[in-house]
Chain A
Amino acid sequence: MSNLLEVRDLSVRAGGKEILHGVNLSIREGDVGVLMGPNAAGKSALLKTIMGDPRYEIVRGSILFNGVKINDLKPYERVKLGIALAFQNPPRIGIKLGYFIDKLSEEFGSNADSVIDELGIRQLVGRELFHGFSGGEMKKTELFITLLQRPRLALLDEPDSGVDIDSLSVIASMINRLIDAGSSILLVTHTGHILRYLRRLDVIHVMINGKIVYSGDPSIMEKILRYGYEKFEKYGVVESGRAIK
């Protein structure tokens, strides 16, 4: 299968300093990929850069989507190509959720009204986006919005952080729904909690200090979770995939 997303030698600057250093990462069409790493490793920054957040400046390298370089495209142009990002911490937006859902449905020709009840967010539609939402409500809403966008590639930024167990399985079932619909996934997780609920996992990338230190077989995950990122980085685990150090 060909690469749907290909990040080549990407270095990115934000807030006056370089935070990603020569990142290489690819996601094949239909792949479910995970990007793991400690806090502040640059995982969110990578997703936002792929999405075209103007606060992240590409200093070197390129991002290819479906073989086309998208470095200079505006965020909404990337959305039109089929990329979607579910935010880890979305900002408060002064638009009622119900109204936003209508606009998105109109924009993407989608209808997912029944999913609102599955997610248990019906009571939020009259409220402004993310104003006083709980952690779980934020994640569910972001995932719902992503579903409405019907993306070819869904970038999911820590959908499992700060979420209780019950919400976790609901969130996972939504991600599985995306997978079933044929979306490719790049999911960022710090803890890995969500992974055991997922239908499938094809590839894992580990990022530490703005660099990808491992890309390959997902079975590595158990070791990471057992030993922690620090040891993983120090001693490396080289049974499969690319070696580190």
Chain B
Amino acid sequence: MRSLRSTEWSKVEGRLNNLLRNAKEALRKRAPYGPDIDLEEFNFEEEGDVENETIESLPPDLRKAGEAVGIDVNERRVSGTYLQIDGRVLRSTVLKWLRERGLIVAPISEALRKFNWLKDYYWSAIPVDQDKYTAAAEVFRQHGYFIYVPPNVKIEIPVQTCLLMSCHRGAQAVHNIIIADENSELNLITGCATTANRGLHIGVSEFFVKRGARVTFTMIHGWAPEFHVRPRAAVVVEEGGTFVNYYINMHSVKSLQMLPTVIEHRNACSYLTTIVLGRGSAFMDVGGRIIFRGENARGEITSRSVIRDSAKVIMRGQLIAEAQKVRGHLECRGLLLSDSAEAEAIPSLKSKFNDVELTHEAALGRISEEEMIYLMMKGFNEDEATALLVRGFIDAGLQHLPESLRFAAISTLEMAARMAKG
């Protein structure tokens, strides 16, 4: 037994070494989409310590930035919290009764040391050398969170994770792994924000939704005008599992590119909603991809972009059927609020099977004069009418979120609608 164990261990070690080597080789590998970023322009800090602070002890500006992206500072409505600033983990905690039921919220660095089995999941959903950003997350390793929900444990109260950045020209590269074991339920809300004006954020997230489990993942981003953001997410949804993703970005950003990929097995189900407000000279390339690998898998991708100033937003959606009896729908809608705003919708459907139903609709447009006049004749001035129409436009996907998370999403939507007019 002893020798077998040590053989297994050396295999694992060998795999980890390979990962690092592959990552190093991929550090200059451009991503297929989005402007290329020179990683050397940014300062990747050393992986910092794991501390145990309270959110309330945060400097006021960071605290405010966190609150603006839905973070519950008093932790009254959450079952656990993970908080990281730049390369330092400030807090990682779980309510006692949920810890006793097996819920884990921990820095991934710590979790990898503690749970040998976690190494099997590490980089198993996303190739480490997918592009320079995934590679950087492995090479520069700056923590990230690990969340585990044991089988049959259903946690309605959300777990919150918060990734903050405060260093000018800083880079944050985190790696998150989320595992919802069989028939469990997890509601996760992530808020990412910054007090620095220029920086790079890379977030690798690997989700494993086991048989019959349900995960909702609400991500609210609040970056700054000189920020580049490259989330890299992949989700494996096993038989009968459900994954709901709701993403909102309403702050300025220099460039944002992401294409989360969901792989669905038999009878699995997923809903991806992306809502962005493109402002200033932002470039955003967002959307999602669902690969239906098992029969009867279902999925929906919804993108809504509101674009003002001279921002450009590309909405990508890909539905790929690799099995029979799959049903998927894709919807991309863009609302342009200025003459120099630009939008592009790139829906794509792919199937080799005859008994599947993949559909899409895409529309780009402006606010119609008729709608404006109607609202003005009901008592709203131009700005109020625009805000109302924007709010109506971005009202999508909320029905898939649990009540406890709708609040944060709705208050962000309200803010986005007010900001749409400038």
Q: Which residues of A contact B (CB under 8 A)?
A: 48, 51-55, 74-76, 79-80, 84-85, 87, 90-96, 99-100, 103-104, 107-108, 128, 145, 149
Interface CB pairs A-B, < 8 A, 19: A53-B377, A54-B373, A76-B377, A76-B379, A76-B384, A79-B377, A79-B379, A91-B371, A93-B374, A94-B389, A94-B392, A96-B392, A99-B391, A99-B392, A104-B379, A107-B379, A107-B380, A108-B379, A145-B378
Cβ of B393 < 8 Å from any Cβ of A?
yes
Q: Contacts A91-B368, A91-B371 given: A149-B378 contact, CB under 8 Å?
A: yes
A55-B373 in contact (CB<8A): yes
Partner of A103, one of B368, B376, B388: B388
Q: Which residues of B contact A (CB under 8 A)?
A: 368, 370-371, 373-381, 384, 388-389, 391-393, 395
A52-B370 in contact (CB<8A): no
- Chain B neighbourhood of A103, CB < 8 A: 388
- Chain A neighbourhood of B376, CB < 8 A: 52, 74-76
- Chain A neighbourhood of B388, CB < 8 A: 95, 100, 103
Q: List 8 A-B pairs, minimum CB-CB distance, nearest first.
A: A95-B392, A79-B379, A75-B376, A91-B370, A94-B392, A75-B377, A76-B381, A76-B376
- Chain A neighbourhood of B381, CB < 8 A: 74, 76
CA distance A95 to B393 in the complex (A): 7
CA distance A51 to B374 in the complex (A): 10
Q: Which of A84, A91, A104 has the most CB of B within 10 A?
A: A91
A76-B380 in contact (CB<8A): yes
CA distance A231 to B40 in the complex (A): 87
Partner of B374, one of A74, A84, A87, A107: A87
Partner of A53, one of B373, B380, B389, B392: B373
B395-A99 in contact (CB<8A): yes
- Chain B neighbourhood of A48, CB < 8 A: 377
CA distance A54 to B395 in the complex (A): 29
A104-B378 in contact (CB<8A): yes
CA distance A195 to B90 in the complex (A): 71
CA distance A87 to B378 in the complex (A): 10
CA distance A108 to B379 in the complex (A): 9
B379-A80 in contact (CB<8A): yes
A95-B378 in contact (CB<8A): no
Residue of A nearest to B384 (CB): A76
A85-B377 in contact (CB<8A): yes
A90-B374 in contact (CB<8A): yes
B371-A52 in contact (CB<8A): no
Q: How far is the CB of A95 from chain B (nearest CB, A)?
A: 3
B395-A96 in contact (CB<8A): yes
- Chain B neighbourhood of A90, CB < 8 A: 374
Residue of B nearest to A100 (CB): B388
CA distance A54 to B389 in the complex (A): 19
- Chain A neighbourhood of B371, CB < 8 A: 91-94
Q: How far is the CB of B348 from chain A (nearest CB, A)?
A: 26
CA distance A91 to B373 in the complex (A): 10
A79-B373 in contact (CB<8A): no
- Chain B neighbourhood of A74, CB < 8 A: 376, 381
- Chain B neighbourhood of A52, CB < 8 A: 376-377
- Chain B neighbourhood of A128, CB < 8 A: 392
A75-B373 in contact (CB<8A): yes
Q: Which of A52, A76, A79, A149 has the most CB of B within 10 A?
A: A76
